[in-house]
A and B are shown apart, each in its own frame.
Chain A
Amino acid sequence: EAGVAQSPRYKIIEKRQSVAFWCNPISGHATLYWYQQILGQGPKLLIQFQNNGVVDDSQLPKDRFSAERLKGVDSTLKIQPAKLEDSAVYLCASSFGLGDEQYFGPGTRLTVT
């Protein structure tokens, strides 16, 4: 089966610019996650969707980050405006349901200069 797809793989932007990431989960997976992973750390959950509803977004910096899940399938994560500390890898994952094993995409490496 096809895995979780993410694009772009790499992005370099200047601070205060905006950027968007796209994720296509595994077909049939109801739960979708966005994580931020800073070098040397574990993934930090930003937002979790169950179908097209938000389960948890308590760690999403809502003043600059936003996410949506279109029709309960694809999802986009946006940062506007970006800060230097947003430089990280942004991982998308999906699972069949809450608490099930997660399948991760390759991630998008964001560099903010």
Chain B
Amino acid sequence: SQKIEQNSEALNIQEGKTATLTCNYTNYSPAYLQWYRQDPGRGPVFLLLIRENEKEKRKERLKVTFDTTLKQSLFHITASQPADSATYLCAHESSASKIIFGSGTRLSIRP
């Protein structure tokens, strides 16, 4: 079956450092990957989309990479701030056009 895996362990980062989150997918090569942020008690908020023919995409302090050989996407937050603390989800569309989300990685930025 097509799976998308994120590090289920929480990531704790010192403020100002770069946070790097990983998303691995198996048994399928998606045309794109999406990254979302989710705060407690709220719905996910879209951050970035990267397509298979794009190696890297940036938006302000955010950067996403897409390595189709490793079947992996990395999500980076540079100059991290406590306000960046949240759960980050990756998602892709399966071969059956079904959206599949990872379980998310909880990020904590300590002052």
Q: A42-B102, A42-B104 are in contact. Are A99 and B32 (CB under 8 A)?
A: yes
- Docked Cα-Cα span, A98 to B34, in Å, equals 13
Which residues of chain B are near A35, meaning CB under 8 Å? Answer: 101
CB within 8 A of A56: which of B6, B49, B98? B98
Q: A48-B99, A56-B97, A99-B93 are in contact. Are A43 and B44 (CB under 8 A)?
A: yes
Interface size class of A (residues with CB under 8 A): 20 to 34
Which residues of chain A are near B43, meaning CB under 8 Å? Answer: 4, 91, 93, 104-107
- Which residues does B use to contact A, with CB under 8 Å? 6, 31-32, 34, 36, 41-46, 49, 89, 91, 93, 96-104
**Can you give 17 contacting A-B residue pairs, CB < 8 Å?**
A4-B43, A41-B104, A42-B6, A42-B102, A42-B103, A42-B104, A43-B44, A48-B98, A56-B97, A91-B43, A99-B93, A102-B36, A102-B44, A102-B99, A104-B44, A106-B43, A107-B42
- The 8 A-B residue pairs with the shortest CB-CB distance, nearest first, are A104-B43, A42-B101, A101-B46, A42-B103, A43-B101, A56-B98, A104-B44, A45-B99
